[in-house]
Amino acid sequence: MNNNGLLWRGSWIAVLHATVWASATTAGSPPLPPTTAPISPAQTPPPTTATDAPIDAPGLLNVVAYGPSVWSGSVPVGDAGFATLKAWGVQTVISVDGAAPDLTRANAAGIRYVHLPIGYDGFDDARKLQLVRAVRDLPKPIYIHCHHGKHRSAGAAATIAVSLGWLTTEAALARMKTSGTAPNYAGLYTCTASASLLTAATIDQASPDFPSVTRPNGLVEAMLAIDDTNDRLTAIERAGWKVPADHSDLVPVAEAAALADHLRLLAASPEIAARPTSFRDLLAKSQSIAQRLEDQLSTVPSGDPARLSADMQALQATCKECHASARNQRSAPRDVSATSGAATPPPTAP
């Protein structure tokens, strides 16, 4: 590992010893852009499978239908987002984002939350079965979201639709493009492309107990997640910001997106909210640079290597500043476990 990598490792270990990884709310996440939808949720009907473009509604962005009563979109923002979901009759919300769901607003709206996070590089068969069973069995309509509603929620919804026989593979891939899933997210597209109709017996292998909140298992795992992501990005940088020849499994945009997500979740923790403004500003700056890396790598062709490397250096420099700010304010780490939801109701038709 080079000196920059070591700086990164030491800095983030210090920061993570001073914070808790997960948050009980998504407060502090970068704000989604305002919608231009009407003020009243009732004035914005949900999209159908015939709708050929994403729609925005109060508190929701990039909403696309993947089934007659299953939609993918952005995280519901504030009271407006949950008011829209309630107006649409949504019974269940499934988050594939890493941030903890807004259970308070969901409960107030009479909506059940299920939290099954996935990565930007896709998800394994076990998570696929959980998602498919949740959508098959839980009350509908169902709203599936990540953060912006373009990539992870679309990949999950498309895979579910193929697995349940609602869409052909070609139609599901086309819906992902409608959602705005960038072609660089190869892992998400692969999940959908490799999906097939599942039997009831196969789906039943997944547990019927769905967590309302899924949180990381502890500080050490959080530290390793950030450190490993940086190591992978460093390898990608050495390869000229392309897939390294000796690591063909690394997708540049997926690694940058994962780093941006790690920083977003860190910024959302209540411990960060209690820190000095100067520290929070540095973290926000790191998050902004990481997001810029993702945005550049999501284009085809990807961004200028020199500019990408400059942003990487700026990110590591900001990390060093965070370290200097946090090193004298360490607190004892604590683990947060998952919370399970209620038992699954009888299956309902889509």
Q: pLDDT tens digit string along 290-347?
A: 899 999 998 867 778 999 999 998 888 887 676 555 544 433 333 333 444 433 333 3
Same-domain check for residues 179 and 265: no
Closest CA to 327 of 261, 282, 264: 282
Structure tokens at 152: 């992870």
**In terms of residue numbers, what domain contains 243?**
3-22+218-326
Given a contact cutoff of 8 angstroms between Cβ atoms, the answer to whether 159 and 196 are in contact is no
* Alpha carbon 253 to chain centroid, angstroms: 14
Residue that finishes a domain, picked among 157, 188, 214: 214
User: Between β-strands 211-213 and 142-145, what pairing exists: parallel, antiparallel or unpaired?
Assistant: unpaired
Query: Could you tell me if residue 344 is inside a domain?
Result: no
Which stretches within the chain are classed as H helix?
A: 3-17, 78-87, 103-108, 125-137, 152-163, 169-179, 186-193, 200-203, 219-238, 252-267, 270-273, 277-297, 305-326
291/304 same-domain check = yes
For position 329, what pLDDT does the model report? Answer: 47
Establish if 128 belongs to a structural domain: yes
* Whether 282 contacts 314, CB under 8 Å: no
- In this prediction, residue 325 carries a pLDDT of 59
Out of 214, 245, 276, pick the residue that ends a domain. 214
First to last CA, the chain: 51
Question: What is the C-alpha separation between 275 and 255, in angstroms, rounded?
Answer: 28
The answer to whether residues 199 and 97 belong to one domain is: yes
Tell whether 223 and 209 lie within a shared domain.
Answer: no
Instruction: Please state, in angstroms and rounded to a whole number, the distance separating the CA atoms of residues 103 and 212.
Output: 8
Say yes or no: 237 and 193 in one domain. no
Secondary structure of residue 96 in the 3-state scheme? coil
Per the domain annotation, does 28 fall within a domain?
A: no
> Is residue 336, in this structure, part of any structural domain at all?
no
> Are 179 and 145 within 8 A, CB to CB?
no
- Are residues 190 and 322 both part of a single domain? no
**Residues 197 and 279 both lie in one domain:** no
Report pLDDT digits (tens) over 68-110.
899 999 999 999 999 999 999 999 999 999 888 999 999 999 9
- Asked if residue 278 and residue 154 are part of one domain, the reply reads no
- Residue carrying the six token digits 């709708």: 51
The CATH number given to whatever domain includes residue 209 is 3.90.190.10
Buried b (16+ CB within 10 A) or exposed e, 283-292: bbbbbbbbbb
Q: In this structure, which amino acid lies at residue 165?
A: G
pTM of model > 0.75: no
Give the distance from CA 128 to its chain's centroid: 15
Domain tally for the chain? 2
Mark which of 188, 214, 240 sits at the end of a domain: 214
76, 188: one domain: yes
Strand order in the sheet with 92-95: 55-57, 60-67, 70-73, 142-145, 92-95, 112-115
Domain contains 35: no
Per-residue pLDDT of the chain (350 residues; tens, 9 = 90+): 554 554 454 444 444 444 433 333 333 445 555 544 445 666 789 999 999 999 999 999 999 999 989 999 999 999 999 999 999 999 999 999 988 899 999 999 999 999 999 988 899 999 999 999 999 999 999 999 998 899 999 999 999 999 999 999 999 999 999 999 989 889 999 999 999 999 999 999 999 999 999 875 544 455 556 767 877 898 899 999 989 988 888 889 988 988 888 788 777 766 677 778 887 888 888 889 989 999 999 886 777 899 999 999 888 888 767 655 554 443 333 333 344 443 333 333 34
235 and 161 within one domain: no
Residue 343 lies in a domain: no
* The predicted structure's pLDDT at residue 340: 42
Concatenate the DSSP letters of all residues of 152-218 into one string: HHHHHHHHHHHHTTSS-HHHHHHHHHHHT--TT-HHHHHHHHT--PPPHHHHTTS-S--EEE---S-
69 CB burial (10 A radius; 0-12, 13-18, 19+): buried
Is the domain of 97 the same as that of 201? yes
Residue 274, pLDDT score: 74
Let me know whether 117 and 177 are in one domain.
Answer: yes
Contact 167, 187 (CB under 8 A): no
Residue 335: the pLDDT is 33
Q: Domain for residue 31, yes or no? A: no
In a domain, 258, yes or no: yes
